[in-house]
């Protein structure tokens, strides 16, 4: 699946709520998100607009690894309904 090219960090943080992630803190321009699902897991997302494609791919890969899914499945769950 092709990743969105115009996604802001804040929008990604909002979308990740589908996996149970919530913003737990902010330091400068970075958000720290935590999910208790399948054991506690933390990710950090920059609040850049737009996010670089490599950064987005890395965040999705980290979420996919935690939830034992493919990165494409994570992307579909997050972005298919917005298209």
Residue numbers of the domain that contains 24? 9-82
Sign of CA dihedral 35, 40, 45, 51: negative
| pLDDT tens-digit readout, 5-29 | 999 999 999 999 999 999 999 999 9
**SS3 at position 80:** helix
pLDDT at 80: 83
| pLDDT tens-digit readout, 69-80 | 999 999 999 998
Average pLDDT in the 28-43 region?
95
Angle at which helices 71-79 and 53-67 pack, to 10 degrees?
Answer: 110
As for how many domains the chain has, the answer is: 1
d(CA 55, CA 44): 10
Residue 2 lies in a domain: no
Split at pLDDT 50, 70, 90, the class of 82 is low
| H or E, element range at 55 | helix 53-67
Q: Tell me the CATH number at 17.
A: 3.30.920.30
Given a cut of 90, whether residue 60 has pLDDT beyond it is yes
Please tell me the pTM assigned to this model.
0.89
């Amino acid at each position: 699946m092709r990743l969105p090219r115009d996604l802001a960090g804040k929008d990604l943080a909002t979308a990740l709520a589908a996996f149970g992630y919530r913003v737990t803190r902010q330091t400068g321009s970075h958000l720290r998100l935590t999910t208790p699902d399948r054991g506690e897991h933390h990710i950090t997302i920059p609040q850049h607009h737009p996010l670089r494609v490599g950064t987005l791919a890395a965040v999705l890969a980290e979420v996919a690894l935690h939830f034992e899914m493919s990165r494409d499945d994570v992307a579909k769950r997050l972005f298919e309904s917005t298209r």
